[in-house]
Amino acid sequence: MHPTTNQSVIQYNEEKDILLMKMHGHMTLDEYKTFFENILTEAKKHTCSYWIYDLSSFEYNSLQARTWQITVFLPRCFRELAQEIVVGMIPPQDAVHRIGVQVAIKATENMNYPYCLKYFKNIERAQDWILSKNNSDN
Angle ∠(104,135,125) on CA atoms, nearest 5: 50
What's the number of CA atoms in the CB half-sphere (13 Å) around residue 76?
A: 15
Residue 55 contacts residue 101 (beta carbons within 8 Å) = yes
Least trusted range by pLDDT, from 12-16, 73-77, 100-104, 128-132: 100-104
Whole-model pTM: value is 0.84
Distance in angstroms (rounded) separating the CA atoms of residues 104 and 68: 10
- What tens digit of pLDDT does each residue of 53-83 get? 999 988 766 788 888 988 899 999 999 999 9
Task: Identify the band that residue 38 occupies on the pLDDT scale cut at 50, 70 and 90.
Answer: very high
CA-CA distance, 97 to 69, in Å (whole number)? 15
Q: Over 70: is that where the pLDDT of 1 sits?
A: no
* Ordered structural domains, the chain, with CATH: 2-137 (3.30.750.24)
Dihedral over alpha carbons 43, 48, 50, 51 (to 10 degrees): -20
CA quadruple 45, 49, 55, 59: dihedral positive or negative?
Answer: positive
Confidence of residue 48 (pLDDT cuts 50, 70, 90): very high
